Amino acid sequence: MLTVVVPVYNESGNIKELFHQVCRELASEKFELIFVNDGSTDHSLEVIKEMAALDSRVRFVSLSRNFGHQSALRAGLEHAKGDAIISMDADMQHPPNIMPKLIAKWREGNEIVYTTRQDSQDSGLLKRLLSRFFYTFASKISGIKLEPGTADFRLIDAKILSVLNNFKESNLFYRGIIPWIGFKKVAVPYQADARFSGKSKYSLIRMFRLALVGLSFHSVRPLYVAVALGLMMCFFSLLYAGYAVYMHFVMKDTVSGWTSLVILHTFLGGVQLVVLGFVGHYIGQISENIKARPNYIVAEKNF
């Protein structure tokens, strides 16, 4: 059996059409479709209940308020019962017609089949540029390769799901954790369509918030920048000290007090940065431990 997980926030104009398309694409499969109503204020929940009454494959989880896309996704994943789970948006920007391809790739033995968006006529130039910038920047900082155009449109094996469900940290950033956990994965490119109905729920502010979550998600590395900078500064300070001493004793060309001030100033700056980096390191350790992430993930065992 397959599970399709769809977070829904005010998508009353989309969900019926989405269900039709999913039924068409998965005609030969046994599946359940879980709508996660993320505190919609329109008629989404009524529409979902209507569909669920008519078709037992439609299931729903309705959250008590709007928790945001990632939390809604998590709620859906934690309720999924399928052997493979496909997560996708409700607005048809994640085209259901590539689902058979995702499933085929899974049956070939891939445990994660993720998608990469090639182009979107819908999102504006600014949104596309920002998204591109974020993926490049976040990849550099985190050391985890975030491919541009990867959203939460992917198929995962039930095995991956149980791994994901073990991550109890708050603000789980699926796009970052999926490349991090490893396993056998493959990408499927797709052309994004325009939104079927309604408008985007991701304002620039919401995108920025998600980006911050994404950056702090693997954030121990930026803390080391302070150590590196501090050591560099100490090094240059020593060079500069040589210069200052030379100017003072050989050229006798300095204002009185300048030499000692300059040496103290640059050296202390370096020492402070190094110390700050060490303090940062401990904070990093604390944040790692609070997350209580598994240190390793077993893919297979023979006992």
Which residues form the interface with ligand UDP (CB under 6 A)? 7-9, 11, 38, 66, 68-69, 72, 89-91, 93, 200-202
Beta strands per DSSP E along 150-253: 154-157, 185-192
Minimal distance in Å, beta carbon 67 to Mg ion?
18
In the complex, the residues that contact Mg ion under the rule CB under 5 A are 89, 91, 93
d(CA 255, CA 232): 27
Q: Is residue 70 within 8 Å of residue 174, measured between CB atoms?
A: yes
| Residue whose CB is less far from ligand UDP, 213 or 247 | 213
77 interacts with, out of ligand UDP, Mg ion, none, CB within 5 to 8 A per kind: none
Minimal distance in Å, beta carbon 68 to ligand UDP?
5
Minimal distance in Å, beta carbon 198 to Mg ion?
9
Closest among 125, 101, 90 to 18, alpha carbons compared: 90
Minimal distance in Å, beta carbon 101 to ligand UDP?
20
Per-residue DSSP letter, 98:
G
| Residue whose CB is less far from Mg ion, 25 or 91 | 91
Minimal distance in Å, beta carbon 92 to Mg ion?
8
| Residue whose CB is less far from Mg ion, 9 or 106 | 9
7 interacts with, out of Mg ion, ligand UDP, none, CB within 5 to 8 A per kind: ligand UDP
Q: Is residue 80 within 8 Å of residue 34, measured between CB atoms?
A: yes
66 interacts with, out of ligand UDP, Mg ion, none, CB within 5 to 8 A per kind: ligand UDP
Q: Is residue 176 within 8 Å of residue 217, measured between CB atoms?
A: yes
Both tokens of 292, joined, read 């209580």
31 interacts with, out of ligand UDP, Mg ion, none, CB within 5 to 8 A per kind: none
Burial class (CB in 10 A: 0-12, 13-18, 19+), 173: buried
Q: Is residue 149 within 8 Å of residue 188, measured between CB atoms?
A: no
> How many residues are there in the chain?
303
| Residue whose CB is less far from ligand UDP, 16 or 248 | 16
| Residue whose CB is less far from ligand UDP, 93 or 237 | 93
Closest among 131, 138, 295 to 221, alpha carbons compared: 138
Minimal distance in Å, beta carbon 151 to ligand UDP?
7
Minimal distance in Å, beta carbon 221 to ligand UDP?
27
| Residue whose CB is less far from ligand UDP, 6 or 262 | 6
Beta strands per DSSP E along 125-281: 154-157, 185-192
185 interacts with, out of ligand UDP, Mg ion, none, CB within 5 to 8 A per kind: none
33 interacts with, out of ligand UDP, Mg ion, none, CB within 5 to 8 A per kind: none
Query: In the β-sheet with 58-62, what is the strand arrangement from edge to edge?
Result: 58-62, 31-37, 2-8, 84-87, 154-157, 112-120, 185-192
69 interacts with, out of Mg ion, ligand UDP, none, CB within 5 to 8 A per kind: ligand UDP
| Residue whose CB is less far from Mg ion, 57 or 154 | 154
What is each CA distance from 292 to 147, 182, 287, in whole angstroms?
26, 18, 9
